[in-house]
A and B are shown apart, each in its own frame.
Chain A
């Protein structure tokens, strides 16, 4: 039996405690830094959403996806264009952006998911480059390199969101939804099918799992979460530009997952929560001339991680053992009742 961290505390109470802390965050005294900290944390929450979405493909299903930022960009531009041309409400735009992401996920995934391993990764990489090219060149649609300025902020009951704490709460709300979706999927028939595919495709097939179908599903769901993240980003930043959706972003999100632990939900979130602020803090600490050296330090952190925790901060296996522990405890409680 693998010992799990925090075996003494139940999962739920830990989660509620963290959520409470997060809700308290904007009101803590931070002496003038509040808005800055909030912006960084909101970015981290956004990347948590993205990482949770991407995690479904390489983490759950075991396919390397290098083109996640493509769906992020599609979501952002869907939201931006809908807001500018049709002036739709944020709450309508969000599902539409997610749907558009899913649509492209299926369009890309259905034909290419037959490819295995590296070949598939290359195709997804090509897709993300394609998205950037289209965003940059189709002037009639996206205004190309001029970007899309003047996206209206989201509103709630007629009140426009402007303050940083409002966006922070909004991001947190979206994160909770995605978290609910992802945890429910993980513990379902669907999630088990994905894990089975990741562990052994042949054995999965012989358990009656249709590989293509479940791979496309994973890809579509992951893409729709990416689209949702993009929509939030567009509405938050109010300006989007093709350069924001370059390949580097895909790698960054992938790094978060690898750092936190592929396939484990809590690990993925922890990875985003640690790495994203780290880059911001480095930006602040380093002198102007060494500004770009922050990526070096970033790389160093990853290398150290590979050396000391090669499976990530909270590896998937441990997450499984954790889950088993909870199941065992639940069963014991049931027996006691009887």
Chain B
């Protein structure tokens, strides 16, 4: 048994509402797995957590062997982030003070402006990736301790002249003494905390939605999200974004690599469009397509990211029987390509035809799991859909 996705005890809380409560599920490679449940059961929330559009409050997700979410809870992550921010604010507030001490004439509004931009930059860097954050953290720590060191040496050599804050009569010692007594040890401690291995892993594995896509998970949306003002072909080409390497300079110089890539993805995109049966509408605007065609285009775009795992969010919603039977056929063909499919669907006919295994959610709780036949007979599922009376009838 080869697991492609394993979710363990995933919870998601919005304010006071528990949208997902300790949900665990497993998806085997090459299978089609369904998720059913009444409206508001948390199915789409589950998908959003999987693709990192939401960050889960608790729990773990494994994509194959790779963990996507850390063991540490969301609140803890937030706490660490806030501590880091606080630390940077304190340490940077120190910088202009020490500048004003050493170079009184340059302490001026331009520098303050630069500092403001710098502060915002730091805030940005704190939130995302650890590796970049680490570089900054070490850098700031060196600047900080270096500044303190210089100050200490200066004080030792000029014991009679304790400086004043430029422009005011406030002795610098008012700031410097509490700083060296309290903030420096505190900041050193914090930085050490931030750089320990556990936190590094924590940040290292927190991937954004784009990184998740690059890791091989593609999805479609319940309310179709296409690039409506672009052509059908461009929509699919954007899907293969992550597999291209050409950047700014190869584009401007139109290098051989870039031309080769463009030709290649054009052929690939045509391939995908033929696969979903849209080859006759390649150059039309995506917004001009019929509803069913838009659904299929979204699938083509998701396939263009070359996923191992495809998440389909109510693909048959609003389709007529003819269209949905075509869709069933299409999803079967996707499976034959070796893509595992995880599918949310209300249409039980579609589900019973397609799914190898079904999970049922209600109010964020996993209420049943099993093969389609087992699910059909399950009293709790019937109750969730039709109310209490129906299960006993």
B-binding residues in A (CB < 8 A): 1-2, 107-108, 110-112, 114, 130, 134, 137-138, 181, 184-185, 188-190, 192-193, 195-196, 199-200, 202-212, 217, 221, 316-317, 320-321, 323-325, 327-328
Contact = CB atoms under 8 A, between A and B. Distances in A.
A233 to B, nearest CB: 23
Given A189-B244, A207-B239, A200 B51 contact: no
A199 B230 contact: yes
B234 interface: yes
Contact of A206 (B113, B213, B246): B213
B288 to A, nearest CB: 8
Nearest to A114: B124
B210 A209 contact: yes
A196 B227 contact: yes
A75 to B, nearest CB: 19
The 3 A-B residue pairs whose C-beta atoms are closest, nearest first, are: A208-B242, A111-B120, A324-B283
Interface string B99-136: 00000000001100100010011011000000000000
Interface string B143-161: 0000000000000000000
Contacts of B237: 192
Interface residues of B, number: 47
B247 A190 contact: yes
B248 A190 contact: yes
Interface in B203-230: 208-210, 213-214, 218-219, 221, 225-230
A317 B285 contact: yes
Interface of B: 51, 53, 109-110, 113, 117, 120-121, 123-124, 208-210, 213-214, 218-219, 221, 225-231, 233-234, 237-239, 241-242, 244, 246-248, 251-252, 254, 258, 261-262, 283-285, 301, 305
22 contacts: A108-B117, A111-B124, A112-B120, A137-B109, A185-B251, A192-B234, A192-B237, A196-B230, A199-B230, A200-B225, A200-B226, A203-B225, A206-B53, A206-B209, A209-B238, A209-B241, A209-B242, A210-B208, A316-B229, A317-B229, A320-B229, A324-B283
B251 A208 contact: no
Contacts of A211: 210
B345 to A, nearest CB: 19
A207 B231 contact: no
B283 A327 contact: yes
B238 A193 contact: yes
Nearest to B215: A208
Nearest to A263: B229
A324 B305 CA distance: 23
A112 B262 CA distance: 32
Contact of B214 (A112, A181, A193, A208): A208
Contacts of B258: 188
Contacts of A321: 285
A167 B231 CA distance: 40
Nearest to B123: A111
A207 B283 contact: no
Contacts of B244: 189
A114 B128 CA distance: 12
Contact of A199 (B229, B251, B252): B229
B124 A184 contact: no
Contacts of A185: 251-252
Nearest to A133: B109
B180 to A, nearest CB: 30
A190 B251 contact: yes
B232 to A, nearest CB: 9
Given A184-B254, A327-B283, 7 more contacts: A110-B124, A189-B244, A206-B219, A207-B210, A207-B238, A320-B229, A320-B234
Contacts of B230: 192, 195-196, 199, 320
Which has the most chain A C-beta neighbours within 10 Å: B121, B209, B228?
Answer: B209
Nearest to A190: B251
Contacts of B301: 207
B113 A130 contact: yes
A192 to B, nearest CB: 5
Contacts of B251: 184-185, 188-190
Given A200-B225, A206-B51, A320-B230, A111 B285 contact: no
Contact of B227 (A130, A200, A210, A324): A200
Contacts of A192: 230, 234, 237-238, 241
B227 A195 contact: yes
B252 A184 contact: yes
A114 B123 CA distance: 11
A138 B121 contact: no
Contacts of B221: 202-203
Nearest to B127: A114
Contacts of B51: 206
Contacts of A134: 110, 113
Contact of A205 (B209, B226, B247, B252): B209
Nearest to B301: A207
A215 B51 CA distance: 21
A202 B229 CA distance: 16
